[in-house]
Amino acid sequence: MAVVEVEQDPRVRIIRLNRPDKMNAISLELAWGVINAAREAQADEGTWVIAITGTGKAFCAGLDLTSDDDGVDHSGMGEQDAYLDDLGWVSRLTFTLRQECDKPVVSGINGVAVGAGLALAMGGDIRIMADSARLMAGYPRIGGSPDGGLSLTLTQELGYEQAMRFLLENRTVLGPEAVDLGLVGETVPDEKFEQRFREYCQQLTTLSPITARSSKRVVRNATRHIDLESHLRYEVQNIRRAFASSDGQEARQAFIDKRPPVFEGR
């Protein structure tokens, strides 16, 4: 079974995360599948809009830290280095969607989006969410700081304080609040989600693709306060430090043990 399914709706390339048994958690294979599918869509002149969504009950439950079948030789690398290398593939998801693709990217959040999965959703230019979907930062419970460009996209969409509250409180945000905060543009009843998602993407194809791509370029440039690639690397440096700390190790062990963590600040 392919972990990424690609479908061509007229002028819309739909990229669908397809690990429903893992709630579409991001493995190495899935990440590079999405990256390569987005690059192919960008290069295809017949594709005017790129759409990303998930199969099953989840959009993406975050990074799959349990995966051991990604085909990568991890010898000589720590667990986190294998998953959080120098931009490598976690942050490159956002870099590809925001920087490499100048076609509009629509994120269809069909279910839960947590951590790296939320970063992927926020990497889209426009977001549509099913009513039952849930959004959560997720990083505090595993002793990490945001990556995948989430510190940037959240701050752009929510503002500084609301981004900090969302990250540190680690609360679950549902449909109406997600719209109010600016995490998504609209929510749709579950039974109408797929139809609305497709219809909206097709609506964007009624524009000239030159207009759509030019608009993305100028809006991207207008909101580019910092160099995206440098910031993504800075995020990775910080999450590495957090995960390597004693508190980070304790947070992940407590999460596995389903108990409150005991932090010592080291």
DSSP 112-164: EEETHHHHHHHTSSEEEEETT--EE--GGGGT----TTHHHHHHHHH-HHHHH
pLDDT per position as a tens digit, 195-236: 999 999 999 999 999 999 999 999 888 877 777 777 777 777
More confident residue, 234 or 102: 102
- Comparing 38-47, 104-113, 122-131, 132-141, which segment has the lowest mean pLDDT? 132-141
pTM of this prediction?
Answer: 0.85
Under 8 Å CB-to-CB from 250, ≥6 apart: which residues? 143, 261, 262, 263, 264
Q: Which CATH architecture has domain 4-192?
A: Alpha-Beta Complex (3.90)
Going by the DSSP 8-state scheme, the letter that residue 100 receives in this structure is: I
How much is the pLDDT for 87?
58
Domain spans of the chain? 4-192
pLDDT digits (tens, 9 = 90+) for 5-33: 999 999 999 999 999 999 999 988 899 89
* DSSP 8-state code for residue 74: -
Number of Cβ within 10 Å of residue 36's Cβ equals 14
Residue 82 has pLDDT above 60, yes or no: no
Place 86 in a pLDDT band, splitting at 50, 70 and 90: low
**Residue 111 has what pLDDT?**
96
Question: Do 59 and 2 contact (CB within 8 A), yes or no?
Answer: no
Predicted pLDDT of residue 77: 35
